Amino acid sequence: MNSNYVVIMAGGVGSRFWPASRTSFPKQFLDILGIGKTLLQQTYERFDGICPRENIFIVTNESYRDLIKEQLPSIQDHQILGEPMMRNTAPCIAYACSKIFKIDPKAQIVVAPADHLILKEDQFKEIILNALELAAKEDYLITLGIVPSRPDTGYGYIQYNESLKQDSAFKVKTFTEKPNLELATTFLKSGDFLWNAGIFIWSAESILKSFEANLPDMIDLFREGKAFLNTPKETEFIKGIYSQCTNISIDYGILEKAQNVYVIPSNFGWSDLGTWGSVYELKEKDSKGNVVLGDQKIILKDSSDCIVSMPSDKIVVLYGLHNYIVVESNNSLLICPKNQEQEIKALVNEVKEGFGKNYV
């Protein structure tokens, strides 16, 4: 277990959770579900028993460093990898895995987002530990795929080859980004497609070798500064090279090209918590299908299937409202049909253009 490491990606801004999630305080630092722990804290604790806590690294925007130290008091400064700018998942993974490889060339690494929900944590740990064992003995890039329950158009899909299996993992055939409803329905019926959970397991050696093959210019930048990693000069070095890294996801940059990608079909109560609607699906509802988050003074009259989150010092009356998101936070109010929630990201851009970045 001492050669197991975890990289938690915590640099996103969570714009689809506006107005609660802001650039200065994004959703991974919020207690979105109202359970007394933020999404980051839940993710960090989830890896107890998978690796020592000193082997957990958080990759985030440099501006969130103090937030992480506040929410995870046991974390050490060298375990927080500050990105000077947003550059998608491939650069942050190249950074973290290069740093860990220098510490332990025999490392096996789990890479996971900070803002996902996992309800069946015992099953999750079992799958992760099995995947780490497989990554230690095989040159595989392993991803976790969620057995789909519906033809969801908000997720990427992974197709696997049922005849090519190693332990519990199957060789990946294709990746498909967010299909339309017709295609998603076809995927569901076929039985060999999974939702892409964005959780990866590999050895440090295997992923760096794949960077060399598929994103050589990027990994060369980190290799040139190998002497600075895990030293006081690391931050200055990263600031100097990050703008030269291609803005690309690990899926596009590596996984869609590599021939050694395997997927483990999984069912551990996963949600990416990408939207207010995903929170609505998870929370307990009243007799009319409404979800009220937190301790709020709300009267719902002839209203159904709404999700409402308001400041506790306000009285709110909803009359005749059906299938809506109603959220007030940070002096901003959002009222949006649930079936149009994918438009929130675009609306946030309009707010920024119209009223300035202080409101987003």
Model confidence pLDDT, tens digit, residues 122-133:
999 999 999 999
pLDDT of residue 3: 95
CATH class of segment(s) 4-271 = alpha beta
The 3 state secondary structure assigned to the chain is CCCEEEEEECCCCCHHHCCCCECCECHHHCCCCCCCCCHHHHHHHHCCCCCCHHHEEEEEEHHHHHHHHHHCCCCCHHHEEEECCCCCHHHHHHHHHHHHHHHCCCCEEEEEECCCEECCHHHHHHHHHHHHHHHHHCCCEEEEEECCCCCCCCCCEEEEEEEEEECCEEEEEEEECCCCHHHHHHHHHHCCEEEEEEEEEEEHHHHHHHHHHHCHHHHHHHHHCHHHCCCCCHHHHHHHHHHHCCCCCHHHHHHCCCCCEEEEEECCCEECCCCHHHHHHHCCCCCCCCEECCCCEEEEECCECCEEECCCCCEEEEECCECEEEEEECCEEEEEEHHHHHHHHHHHHHHHHHHCHHHC
What are the φ/ψ torsions at residue 268 (nearest 5 degrees)?
Answer: -125, 35
pLDDT for res 297: 86
Cβ burial, residue 114 (10 Å; 0-12/13-18/19+): buried
pLDDT score recorded for residue 180: 87
Nearest alpha carbon to residue 81 among 56, 102, 103: 56
Predicted TM-score (pTM) of the model is 0.93
Domain ranges of the chain: 4-271, 276-359
- Which one, of 114, 69, 108, lies nearest residue 89 by Cα? 114
In whole angstroms, give the CA distance from residue 286 to residue 304. 9
Question: Sign (positive/negative) of CA torsion 89, 340, 115, 152?
Answer: negative
Nearest CA to 332 among 290, 302, 360, 304?
360
- Token pair recorded at residue 340: 């149009």
Instruction: Give residues with Cβ within 8 angstroms of 27, minimum separation 6.
Output: 12, 14, 17, 20, 21, 39, 115, 273
Q: What pLDDT was estimated at residue 149? A: 87
- For 144-161, how does the pLDDT look when each residue is reduced to its tens digit (9 = 90+)? 999 998 888 888 899 999
Low-confidence ranges of the chain (pLDDT < 70): 1
CA 356, CA 334: separation in Å to the nearest integer? 17
Tokens 């099953």 belong to: 123
Question: What pLDDT score does 136 carry?
Answer: 96
Rounded to whole angstroms, the Cα distance separating 202 from 219 reads 17
The pLDDT value given to residue 153: 81
Structure tokens of 167? Answer: 């332990």
Structure tokens at 199: 């959780």
Distance of CA 217 to the CA centre of its chain: 25
Instruction: Determine phi and psi for 33, rounding to 5 degrees.
Output: -90, -5
